Structure 1
Amino acid sequence: MSNSSEKFQLTRKGAAALAVGALALVGAAVGATVLVEHRLHGHGHGAGHDHGHDAHEHGEEGHEHGRHEGHGHGEDHGHDHGGPAGHPGGAHEDEHAGGKLRLSPAMIENAGIELLTAGPGKVAVTLRLPGEIALNAEGVAHVTPRVPGAAREVKKQLGDAVKKGDVLAVLDSRELAELQRELLAARERLTLAEASFARQEALWKEQISAEKEYLAARQAVAEARIEHRSAAQKLGAAAGAGGGKGGGYALIAPIDGTIIEKHIAVGEVLKEDTQVFVIADLSTVWVNVTVYAKDLRRVHVGQAAWVTAEGTPAPARGAVTYLGHVLDEGNRSASARVELREPDRAFRPGLFATVDVSVEEVDAPVVVSDEAIQRVDGKDVVFVQEGDAFEARPVKLGRRGAADPAGQGARVVEIAEGVTAGERYVGKNSFVLKAELGKPEAGHGHAH
């Protein structure tokens, strides 16, 4: 019996212990639940604005606890990371707020930033076409020997600038020497014929000789003169202005220009069809332009045009001087020509070019320099001055072109929206402000 009592007592004690253990486990679970809920509402959503929805899922007590605890902690977190006072880059956010920049006068001067005033102006709307720079075919001269000969002396070299009449080279020619001999012989025969005619004329006047002899002498003089004139013309045609003595003659520059080809060396034997020198007048060049069928109605002779090519310092202004009437069968385009006068040496024949032809002139209420337009966050912007700051102002662009077809051709853009007449904006070197705006501290999304 006593053993049974002891077993019963032990069993009751074990049950009590088990119950206490179970209660402890339940308490721990509840405590953990509260702790997890607290962390979910207090730490999981630092801003403290999304905890209320989760609290309803855990009961009213959990909601109250999450609301008070999480909200208080969220305010501290937001203050440390979101507010200007707690942000270490707050000064930069003030300077770049709303896309605005503040630059010191020294920075503006050092960067070469140009301030202009927006206002009404003319826009010469342009049509962009492909082209190629070429020699002015009317200003090219090919120098060839008129008779075969051997080069005695070469006076000019490739790239030399020459004037009309300059001696380029001196040649020796047997053919020329023969023509010179014929001329001398014709001159001697003419001299003798003239002397004989003078004697016969005097005798005839004194009635010493017969009229027949006088007439024969006069006929001989006329023939000698014709022969002499023919020999002189042959020699002149062979040697030109460079004819000399002893079979030598000079190759003369027929125009002012630059030697762009040379095919002669001392001692070289040259035929009469050898192209010895090519001289080009580079004071004008042609730009051969391709005008597609869809654009033909917009292009006319006399229109102003601006030409750019790789390596050229600035657009060169010219005019359309020719427009073809027949289309190319391959690409259905017509050829046009733009002539450039006194172009920069960088406009070298053979370069591919871009040609902007002025096809329309309009009056726009607001225009800005083409250099002022920058691309920021996928939008066209103009940096407009507002007090001591510059605002990256989004704009809607209109027509593009030149400021004045009769002037220097500064590129301008019509502003349909975003900038009003009278506002000051950044023209030249506006990319400096774009770069400044794009620095990491200038944005609002950098790490806290």
Structure 2
Amino acid sequence: MSNNNGKFELTRKGAAALAVGALALVGAAVGATVLVEHRLHGHGAHGHDDHAHDDHAHDAHDHHDEGHDHAKHRGHGHGDDHGHDHGGPAGRPHGAHEDEHAGGKLRLSPAMIENAELELLTAGPGKVAVTLRLPGEIALNAEGVAHVTPRVPGAAREVKKQLGDAVKKGDVLAVLDSRELAELQRELLAAKERLTLAEASFERQEALWKEQISAEKEYLAARQAVAEARIEHRSAAQKLGAAAGAGGGKGGGYALIAPIDGTIIEKHIAVGEVLKEDTQVFVIADLSTVWVNVTVYAKDLHRVRVGQAAWVTAEGTPAPARGAVTYLGHVLDEGNRSASARVELREPDRAFRPGLFATVDVSVEEVDAPVVVSDEAIQRVDGKEVVFVQEGDAFEARPVKVGRRGAADPAGQGARVVEIAEGLSAGERYVGKNSFILKAELGKPEAGHGHAH
């Protein structure tokens, strides 16, 4: 820079030096501004005065610069002055607000509520049919099962019914050929012929004796022969009846007859097969009723009584089936200290198949509760049972004290409900169905508290 006639001229070197000095002054001013801002936002909020140690100010300045570096690396302007990311972590549902976790509350947009299919219900008074849940197993009604056996040995001539067929009492299931049966039939015919001859001889001797043509001795002998022939005939008929029952036929043919209405659940016969007299050829079960054998533990025995209503569910069943407790054992099992009970189901859905494990809810009490909510509304968060209560545009995970559980009505057709003893008032809106979605959302990392890298 030169002075010519009182004027200043900047040389190239002078202009460069002046620019460097100006940039240094601007940088110092920015640094001072950042330091004051960090003291106001950081230390000032916690009661520190303006005479903080130099090393604290230096650390705050470094942290500020680091935040700016992070924002630069992100490549967009969604971070605040400290480099924090308010966009939320990856995977957060669209529509959640930046402060959705503030104060333990979730703020969701109407679109998110609709997409999540959250069911909003109103808490209020209601009935709770308190039930006792017990394990059980579906079984055949033992009083409606019939075992069909041939009673006499024989070979299967014809099989008329198959496994799974529905039959009526008196239907012919199969026809057997039996030598033993043919022999019994022959003996009956012979006994009948002897009886006929004895009766004719007696009538003749009786007439001669009355006319005093024959001696009384011959008359008495003829009467004795008739009596013996009748006994023999009666014995042969009983043997045949015991062997064949209603299935006896001519020529040794023997029909197996259905003794009850029902369904064939077992079949052990094929054409030509030789069967013994004790072979269990068919098993017929009346499936219009089934039993559910229930295990009642000692601690619950005082709550269960014969006549109580019960609802039975099993894997694959469309809906709970209503029945009643028809039996309660008086002797405990020595192994698990439990008693056996029985629930009878009438006209159940075919899905209630014997052999399935079942869950039995026995109705033990009916109460009127001041505040009742859907059972689906109860979630467990941080070891506490909570209900997500609507407060304006937010949902609060409110801890509650749970009372009795049961069905919404004594008929057991209503939804499962829970009595709320504390924490929720009648008239408040809460989330029923799909409340677990809010629990999952609450468990995500809080928005606005992590650096984006």
* TM above 0.5: yes
Query: SS in structure 2 opposite 1:267?
Result: coil
Would you say the 8 A contact 1:120–1:363 is kept in 2? yes
The question of whether the paired residues in 2 share the 8 Å contact of 1:132 and 1:289 is answered with yes
On the 8 A contact 1:37/1:66 being kept in 2, the answer is no
1:412 to partner: Cα distance: 1.9
Distance change (3 Å), C-alpha of 1:385 and 1:216: farther
The answer for the alignment partner of 1:180 in structure 2 is 185
CA separation of 1:145/1:84 partners in 2, compared to 1, >3 Å: closer, same or farther? Answer: closer
- Give the direction of change, closer, same or farther, for the CA distance of 1:285–1:220 in structure 2 (3 Å limit): same
* C-alpha contact (below 8 Å) 1:42/1:48 kept by paired residues: no
Please state how far the C-alpha of 1:328 moved relative to its aligned partner.
2.1
> Relative to 1, partners in 2 of residues 1:195 and 1:115: Cα closer, same or farther, differing over 3 Å?
farther
Question: SS at the partner of 1:442?
Answer: coil
Question: Do the aligned residues in 2 keep the contact of 1:381 with 1:394 (CA within 8 Å)?
Answer: yes
Deviations 1:60-119 (A, max 9, x none): 999999999999999866999599999997885699998999999999999987776543
Secondary structure of the corresponding residue to residue 421 of structure 1: coil
2:34 and 2:61 in contact (8 A); partners too: no
Cα deviation for residue 329 of structure 1 reads 2.2
Deviation at 1:414, TM superposition (A): 0.9
1:84/1:90 contact within 8 Å kept: no
| Structure 1 range deviating more: 53-62 or 184-193 | 53-62
Check 1:108–1:31 CA distance in 2 against 1; reply closer, same or farther (3 A cut): closer
Residue 243 and residue 424 in structure 1: after superposition, are their counterparts in 2 closer, same or farther (change >3 A)?
A: farther
- Note the alpha carbon deviations across 1:339-358, whole angstroms, 9 max, x for none: 22222222222222222223
- CA gap of 1:216–1:416, structure 2 versus 1, over 3 A, is same
CA–CA distance in 1 between the matches of 2:224 and 2:278? 40
Unpaired runs of 5+ residues, structure 2, are none
Alpha-carbon displacement from aligned partner over 1:303-344 (angstroms, at most 9, x marks no partner): 222222222222222222222222222222222222222222
- CA separation of 1:425 and 1:282: change in aligned 2, threshold 3 A: farther
In 2, are the aligned partners of 1:383 and 1:393 still within 8 Å (CA)? yes
Residue pair 1:147, 1:176 contacting (<8 A) in 2 also? yes
CA shift, 1:151, in A, is 0.8
Contact 2:134-2:360 at 8 Å conserved across structures: yes
List aligned pairs for 1:223-238, cutoff 5 A.
223-238=228-243
Residue pair 2:84, 2:449 contacting (<8 A) in 1 also: no
> 1-side partners of 2:217 and 2:266: how far apart?
62
Moved more, 432-441 or 162-171: 432-441
**TM-score between the two structures when normalised by the length of structure 1:** 0.72
Instruction: State the alpha-carbon separation in 2 of the partners of residues 401 and 62 from structure 1.
Output: 55
Q: Deviations over 1:354-407 (max 9, x none)?
A: 222233332212223324445567654556678899876654321101234445
Decide whether aligned partners of structure 1 residues 48 and 289 sit closer, same or farther in structure 2, where only a CA change above 3 A counts.
farther
DSSP 3-state at the match of 1:123: strand
Question: Taking every aligned residue pair, what percent have the same amino acid on both sides?
Answer: 94
2:422 is matched with 417
Q: Does 150-159 or 375-384 show the bigger shift?
A: 375-384
Q: 1:138 to 1:48 in 2, by over 3 A?
A: farther
Whether the aligned pair in 2 keeps the contact of 1:55 and 1:62 (CA below 8 Å) is no
Residues 364 and 55 (structure 1), Cα distance of their counterparts in 2 relative to 1, 3 Å cut: closer
Paired residues of 1:154 and 1:168 also in contact (CA < 8 A): yes
Choose 286-295 or 387-396, whichever is displaced more. Answer: 387-396
Q: Which residue of 2 aligns with 1:12?
A: 12
* Equivalent pair of 1:55/1:63 in contact (CA under 8 Å): no
8 Å CA contact 1:48–1:71 kept in 2: the answer is no
Q: Is the 8 A contact 2:78 2:85 kept in 1?
A: no
Greater CA drift, 418-427 or 399-408: 418-427
**1:433 equivalenced with 2:438 (yes/no):** yes
CA distance in 2, matches of 1:389, 1:61: 35
Per the TM alignment, residue 248 of structure 1 is displaced from its structure 2 partner at its CA by 1.0
Native 8 Å contact 1:140 1:279 kept in 2: yes
Quick one: structure 1 residues 6 and 345, their matched pair in 2 at CA, closer, same or farther if it must change by over 3 Å? closer
Measured in 2, the distance between the counterparts of 1:154 and 1:446 equals: 81
Matched, 1:331 2:336: yes
**Residue 355 to residue 277, structure 1, CA distance change in 2 (3 Å):** same
Aligned length: 447
Residues 101 and 154 of structure 1: CA distance in aligned 2, closer, same or farther (over 3 Å): farther
**Residues 317 and 409, structure 1, Cα contact 8 Å, conserved in 2:** no
Cα distance, 1:246–1:386 mapped onto 2, change above 3 Å: farther
Conserved 8 A contact 1:42-1:66 = no
Q: Choose 208-217 or 317-326, whichever is displaced more.
A: 208-217
**65 and 142 in structure 1: CA distance in 2 versus 1, 3 angstrom threshold:** closer
Choose from 260, 285, 294 the match for 1:289: 294
User: Compared with structure 1, are the counterparts of its residues 256 and 117 closer, same or farther at alpha carbon in structure 2 (3 Å cutoff)?
Assistant: farther
TM-fit CA distance, 1:231: 1.2
Distance across 2 between alignment mates of 1:3 and 1:119: 93
User: How far apart are 1:410 and its partner, in Å?
Assistant: 4.1
What displacement does 1:421 show? 3.6
- What TM-score results when the alignment is normalised by the length of structure 2? 0.71
Report the secondary structure of 1:76's partner residue: coil
- Aligned-partner SS, 1:72: coil
Any conservation in 1 of the 2:83–2:451 contact (CA below 8 Å)?
no
- Assess if the C-alpha contact under 8 Å between 2:295 and 2:340 holds in 1: yes
Q: Which moved more, 1:144-153 or 1:190-199?
A: 190-199
Q: Is the 8 A contact 2:68 2:82 kept in 1?
A: no
Distance change >3 Å, CA 116–CA 35, structure 1 → 2: closer
Structure 1 residue 140, shift from structure 2 partner: 1.6
**What per-residue deviation string (whole Å, max 9, x for no partner) do you get for residues 234-282 of structure 1?**
1111111111111111111112222222111111111111111112222
Q: Distance in 2 between matches of 1:321 and 1:9?
A: 116
Higher mean C-alpha deviation, range 273-282 or range 307-316: 307-316
Q: What is the alpha-carbon distance in structure 2 between the residues aligned to residue 27 and residue 429 of structure 1? A: 55
Residues 217-226 or 26-35, more deviating = 26-35
Change (3 A) 1:146 1:338: same
Partner of 1:275: 280
In structure 2, the CA distance between the partners of 1:440 and 1:363, relative to structure 1 (3 Å rule), is: same
Tell me whether 216-225 or 368-377 shows the greater mean CA deviation: 368-377
The equivalent of 2:322 in structure 1 is 317
Q: Which whole-Å CA distance do the structure 2 matches of 1:17 and 1:425 have between them?
A: 70
Query: Per the alignment, do residues 438 and 65 of structure 1 end up closer, same or farther by CA in structure 2, a change over 3 Å counting?
Result: closer
RMSD of aligned Cα (Å): 8.9
* SS at structure 2 position matched to 1:345: coil
Q: SS at the partner of 2:111?
A: helix
1:30–1:423 CA distance, 2 compared to 1 (3 A): closer
Structure 1 contact 41–69 (Cα < 8 Å) conserved: no
3-state SS of paired residue (2:85): helix
